[in-house]
Amino acid sequence: MKKLPFLLLWFCLAAPAYSQTTFNHQYNFDFPFKVLTSVLPTDSCYYVTGIITDTTGGSYKIGNIFIKFDLQGEVEFLKTLTASGKFYETWLGDLIRTSDGGFVDIGLAKDSTIKGLVLKYDNVGDTLFTKEFFNPYYPNASFLFTAAIKAGPEGNLWVLSGLDADLTDAHNGDIYLLEFDSLGTLLQTFTYGGPQNQIPRSMLLESDGGIIIGANKSNTSMVRQNFVSRTHIFNIDSLGEVQWEYITPQGQLFDRARDIVRAPDGGLIVATGKGIEHDINGASSRLFWFPYIFKLNAAHEFEWGIELRGTRQSEGFSVKKVVSASDKSGFVGVGRIGEDVSTGEEVLGSWLIKVSPQGDSLWARYYSFFDGVKTTPEPFDLKNTPDGGYVVVGQTHPRQPDGSTTQQAWMLKVDEHGCLIPGCHLLNSAEGVESEQIELVIYPNPARDYLNFQLRSTNTVKEAVFRIIDSKGKVVRECRTSNLSDTYIIPVTEWPNGVYFLQYLEEGKLRCSDKFIKQ
C-alpha cells in the first residue's frame, strides 16, 4: 500500500451532523446576579428554578425565579418572586411536579430571621402560596436550611431540613423532617439528633410509607483538626421510628450523602466524597474531598465503593448529584474540578462521571472553562432527559482582576454518553492512514455565548496550546493544557461578531486550525 506523505497525515476533520440536541448556555436575565438551582425536564421543555438579585425601584432584593426553557435551552417565559424587606433563596431547591399539574420547591425566607420555605406554583410558574416555618427551638435558636422535598402518594409533601439544636453550641445540628398537606398546612414534624453535628442533604420515599434520609455525622464545624466525618443513612417508618441505619467506617472521612438513588436490584447508590486531612500548622488542618460513589445492597450493607480522581492531581470536590442511566447501564454523577498542576494557569470546570452497576468506572467527561479571569462553574442539579441524555444547571463565577465576582446562570445539556460535542466518546480512526490524525471539533458553529471545542487525538503531549485569532490575525485568547480529552469552554459573549480561527499548537508547532463564527 502506498504511504501518504507525513505532513498530509496531520489534518482536521469537520464535525459530523447529529440529531440529538446538546447545548451549553449562560444566561444574564438582566439581573446583576443569577443562579439556577433545580431543573425538571419534560418531553417538550425544561422547568427551572433559581435565585436572582433585583435592584428595581432602588431597593436591593434577592428573589426566586421560575423559568420555562424550550428543548434548545431558549427562554420561553420567566417569573420572579421578590419582596421588599424579605429574601427568597432556593439554594438547595428540588423542583417537583404535583398531581394537579403545578410545581413545588423549597428554599429559605430571610427577613429579621431565617425561616424554611415551601413554594407552590401553578402550571405557568405563578406563585400560588409560600409557607414559612421556623426552627422548632425559635427564638432561642433560629438557623435552619432546607435540603430536599418529596411528594407522597396522597399529595402530601415531605420537607427535609437541618437546624441548630444545642442552644449552648450553635455548631451542633439536628435533622428536622416536616410533613405538609397539598395546601401547605403543617401536619407533623420529627427531629433526629445526637452528640455530633448532623447535616441532612438527601431523601427517598419508600412504597411502604417509609423514608430514607441521607446525612452525615461530623465534628468538622466544631474543631480545627482531628476531623470526624461519616456518611449517615437511615430509614424511618410511617410513624417516624428509625428502622435501620448505615454509617461509614470509623477512622475514615466521608462527606454527607449528597444524593441517593435506588438501584434496580433494590440497593442504594450514594453520592458523596472521601476526605483527606492535611495539616496547615500545628493547630489546624484542612479537609480535601475527592468524588466518591458507593452502593449499599438491598440488606443495607456496603457492596462497593469507587473513588473518582480522574486525571486531576489537585484536590477535588464531592459528587453533587447522581442519577440512574435511562438504559440501566450504570449511574451518572456530576461535580466540580480544580486543576492547577498540568498547566500554567488554573483551570476550573465541572465533570460528569459514569460508573457501572458493579462499581467500575465507565467514563469521565471534563468541561474545562478558560477565560481571561478565573471562572468557577458550579453545578447545582443533574437530571435525566427523556431522550436518554442529561441536563445540568448551576452558575458560573467569573473572578475579576480586582477580586470581585459575578454570577451567571448556566445550563448544560449533554447526550447519553455525557458529550456536549456529539461523538466525544468515539475513538479516531481513518482507514488507509497509518499515522495519527487530529480532529478539532467546534460545536455549535456559529458560537453564541460560549465557544465549545474538543481535540480528538491518540497523540500524547506534555504541553499543548489552543490559540484563537480574529480575522485580522490578532491573538484574542491562548490556553495551555496537557489534558487533551477535555471539552474546552471559552466565554465569547463580549466578543465582536465575526470570523475567528481556532489553532492547535503542539510543542510550539501549528498542527491544526479551524474556522468558527461568533454571532
CATH of 6-14+435-518, one of 3.20.20.70, 2.60.40.3080, 3.90.1150.10, 2.40.33.20: 2.60.40.3080
pLDDT at 29 over 70: yes
Q: What is the mean pLDDT of the chain?
A: 87
Per domain, the residue ranges of the chain are 6-14+435-518
Read off the pLDDT of residues 368-381 as tens digits, 9 standing for 90 and up: 887 766 677 899 99
Res 485: pLDDT: 76
Helix (H, G, I), strand (E, B) or coil at 58: helix
Per-residue pLDDT band for 11 (boundaries 50, 70, 90) equals: very low
pLDDT score of 313: 46
CB 244 within 8 A of CB 237: no
* Digit-coded pLDDT (tens) for 259-289: 999 999 999 999 999 998 988 888 899 888 8
d(CA 126, CA 139): 32
How do beta strands 144-151 and 157-164 pair? antiparallel
Residue 428 banded pLDDT, cuts 50, 70, 90: very low
Peptide linkage before 153 cis (omega within 30 of 0): no
1 falls in which pLDDT band (50, 70, 90)?
A: very low
Neighbours of 186 (CB within 10 A): 14
**N- to C-terminal Cα separation, the chain:** 45
Percent over 70 (pLDDT), the chain: 86
Q: Taking 80 as the threshold, does the pLDDT of residue 218 lie above it? A: yes
Q: What pLDDT is recorded for position 436? A: 60
In this model, does residue 452 exceed pLDDT 70? Answer: yes
| pLDDT reported for residue 233 | 98
pLDDT computed for residue 161 by the predictor: 97
The pLDDT value recorded for residue 407 is: 84
* pLDDT tops 70 at residue 76: yes
**In the prediction, which pLDDT does 28 show?**
87
pLDDT at residue 244 greater than cutoff 90: yes
DSSP type of residue 9: G
Q: Identify the pLDDT of residue 16.
A: 46
- 83 burial type by CB count under 10 A (0-12 exposed, 13-18 middle, 19+ buried): middle
Distances, alpha carbon 321 to alpha carbons 92, 291, 347, in Å: 12, 11, 22
What mean pLDDT is predicted for residues 34-53? 97
Which residue(s) pair with 236 in the sheet? 211, 242
Strand order in the sheet with 46-54: 34-41, 46-54, 61-69, 75-81
Q: Which residue has the higher pLDDT, 6 or 510?
A: 510
3-class DSSP assignment, residue 274? strand
pLDDT value of residue 250: 94
pLDDT of residue 184: 95
The yes-or-no verdict on residue 142 having pLDDT over 80 is yes
pLDDT digits (tens, 9 = 90+) for 340-361: 544 455 667 889 999 999 999 9
CB contact at 8 A, 52 and 63: yes
* Calpha distance 117→162 (Å, rounded): 13
Name the amino acid, one letter, at 265: D
Alpha-carbon gap, residue 489 to 15, rounded angstroms: 17
Tell me the pTM: 0.91
What does the pLDDT look like over 391-408, one tens digit per residue?
999 998 766 666 666 788
The pLDDT value given to residue 342: 47
pLDDT of 290 over the 70 cut: yes
